Structure 1
Amino acid sequence: MRVRTKWWAPAAAGAVGAVLLTGCQSAPGGGSEGEGRSLDRAPAVSPTPLRTSGHGAVFLAVDECSSFGRTSFTEISCASERAAARVVARHDGTARDGPRCPATTDFVLHISEQRPSLDEDGDGAVPQGYACMRHLQPPHPGDPGGGGGPRTIVGDCVYELGDGKVRETACDGSGEKRPQFEVTKAVATRSECPAATALYVRLGGTAPVGCARPV
């Protein structure tokens, strides 16, 4: 299960009297809030190489599937018993600079550019890009509270790492670490968070501030 680190800032929590520290700031391309640290959770990376000899005309196009192997991911017919994940979005370029994956993406495959020297018509060329993947069967770490995925969304839980960081974990306690906070709302600025907010988690996008409460 892949998890990522995010910067956070304690919220002023009424009766608790917590001191407001640094604000939140979105990833490049999103809005910003305050003057906090600027690093967002990094894009997920492919844990194994990709094989580009695939099933469709375009390698890992939307709605195509991949199998999981010990050494590679291979494009495969979704009807195959070896199919394990489906492409829910596909973009050229890099995940850091391109559009964000859908909220419930389970993992991201980063595809390296490949241009075979003997390919005369360009059909075998694969441009650099990334595929947002969703498992065909549960568990889905990208679901709210699932404890993983490339994005943090409303319904996800986190625990403190120290040094102004938190990390996502499963809300049901099945992860290695118990959840300490749950993101209950995504807003544009901290002032829009509910009064019970105890933690601000940077989400990025058009609603970059996550309002989190203790669990």
Structure 2
Amino acid sequence: MRVHAVRAAVLAAGCAMVLALAANGCTGPPRPADAAPPAGASRGPESGPAAVFLARDACSTGNRQRVEEVGCDSERASAIVLARHEGPRERGPRCPERTDYVLVISERRPDADEDGDGTVLRGYACMRSLEPPHPGDPGGGGGPRTIVGDCVRADGRRSVVRETPCDARDGRHAPEYRVVRQVAHRDRCPPGTALYVDLGGSTPVGCAERV
């Protein structure tokens, strides 16, 4: 089976749910899904029936309009796959820490399409750029996950914060809190914690201090 087209959605840093403000105990709504406009992509010939487009450790070009798999030693290579999963991202494994962005991969198959857009979801690839900047790094202000070392700011909605670069100087994007520890329960957070942020996983509580 040949993949004729791939849709690439770059998932930037989204909102993180605030579990509670340490000062007043308020809680927040479920964390919104990260999203970005999709773009088209293509691949080269498969090497066999089991070939997987953008398997782990493969590299891709950075052209958002036409993503291609290339050798990692190619001058056109711009990102490497940290992890590759089948199926919808919402029900699949989380991307590793330090993932810079996510490519959602779909196959152009109008005959098998269920929602009318002519494409069938194949999976997603967790990508890391080969060169800086790395928004997925701690304090980078992006990536699909909020991790220890990241900074957040209030986004105007009650109990919801948005990741922002720790070195941001713009008043509208200046950091207000930094996640200093990730624990299973709030009572494991260190003294001085001003905010609890939902990070997901088996240790979902992010302990954040004011900056």
Give the TM bin, normalised by the shorter chain.
0.7 to 0.9
Query: 1:44·1:107 contact (CA, 8 Å) conserved in 2?
Result: no
Distance in 2, Cα, partners of 1:144 & 1:70: 25
Q: What amino acid sits opposite 2:210 in the alignment?
A: P
1:127 and 1:52 map into 2 onto residues whose CA distance is: 15
- Partner Cα distance (1:201, 1:54) in 2: 44
Contact 2:40 / 2:64 at 8 angstroms: preserved in 1? no
Matched, 1:113 2:118: no
Aligned to 1:184: 180
- Indicate the SS of the match to 2:107: coil
Q: 3-state SS of the aligned residue for 1:112? A: strand
Query: What SS does the aligned partner of 2:39 have?
Result: coil
Please show how residues 31-42 of structure 1 align to structure 2 within 5 Å: 36-37=28-29, 39-42=30-33
- 1:113 is displaced (CA, Å) by 3.2
- Paired position in structure 2 for 1:103: 97
Identify the residue that residue 68 of structure 2 maps to in structure 1: 74
2:1 matches 1:7:
no
Partner of 1:20: 25
Instruction: Check conservation: 2:26, 2:159, Cα contact below 8 A.
Output: no
Q: Which amino acid aligns with 2:177?
A: F
CA distances 1:27-81 after superposition (whole Å, capped 9, x unpaired): xxxxxxxxx52x2252455742221336764210111111012522111111111
Between 1:68-77 and 1:99-108, the stretch displaced more is 68-77
Provide Cα deviations, 1:89-141, integer angstroms capped at 9, x if missing partner: 00000111001110110000000134598xxxxxxxx9610000000011110
Residue 133 of structure 2 corresponds to residue 142 of structure 1: no
Are the aligned partners of 2:41 and 2:64 in contact in 1 as well (CA < 8 Å)? no
Provide structure 1 residue ranges, at least 5 long, that are not aligned to the other structure.
13-17, 23-35, 118-125
Q: What is the SS of the residue equivalent to 1:168?
A: strand
Equivalent residue, structure 2, for 1:168: 163
CA positional deviation for 1:9: 4.0
Q: Could you tell me how far apart the structure 2 residues matched to 1:191 and 1:205 are? A: 17
Q: 1:45 to 1:70 in 2, by over 3 A?
A: closer
Correspondence for 1:123: none
Percentage identity across paired residues of the two chains: 53
Partner secondary structure for residue 187 of structure 2: helix
Name 1:62's counterpart in structure 2.
Answer: 56
Query: How many residues are paired up?
Result: 188
TM-score relative to the length of structure 2: 0.80
Match of residue 51 from structure 1: 42
Q: Aligned pair in 2 of structure 1 residues 207, 93: CA closer, same or farther (>3 Å)?
A: same
